[in-house]
A = this chain, B = another copy of it.
Amino acid sequence: MPRPNTNFESKKQELIEIAFELFMKKGYEDTTITDILKAAMISKGAMYHYFDKKEDILDAVINYIIALDEKRYEPILKDTNISAIGKIIKMLKSSDSDVPKEIRVAREQLSKRSISIFDYRSRELSNKRTAEVLAKIIADGVASGELKTAYPKETAQLIISSANNIHENAIENPTPENIKKQVDYFIWVLSTGLGIEQEQIEELKNLVVSQLK
């Protein structure tokens, strides 16, 4: 394998974008390595300099989409004038509505099948990355004394898991009582996990209610 250098990275990026286009057109499962080789006009041997197997290309494409999507978190992370709770609220708000349209289209295109490896892997990597961003916000909030936990990373993971769980529960049983229950539980997880009063996240509560409806 050649030493990583600018040329290597830019060629790799080119391959990722070519694979991305192909996955968009045909879906991940129906795109073959041969399709990618043809479109990139390289040999199988050359491809192995960059990726060992098709699954590695999948991960690279997903991480590419996540990185594009993640740009919307940058101003939130950099803003020194908002509290940690304010940042968490902005982050959760952002994840619902601010996803750029081309990324939403890409995600739809990429998961042509009802149960798709793309969907699962994408959700997994995306949850992981979101938890990392949230962990940073929580750690900052702990440092400033606003939040209280000895486990910023683990709390962030649990909040993401809980958000996914309550979202699924709300889809499964979308009655007003159940949605209220899910929100109440999520607020409890958040306030208990972050060592804050539930009243401090009243705004977040309303946000979650509106997102689950």
Contacts and interface: CB of A to CB of B under 8 A. Distances in A.
A158 B157 CA distance: 11
A53 B115 CA distance: 11
Q: Range of interface residues on chain A?
A: 20 to 34
- Copies of this chain held together in the complex: 2
Contacts of A153: 169
A158 B154 contact: no
A166 interface: yes
A112 to B, nearest CB: 12
A142 B26 CA distance: 51
Contacts of A124: 120
A185 B29 CA distance: 38
A114 B53 contact: yes
A164 to B, nearest CB: 8
A161 interface: yes
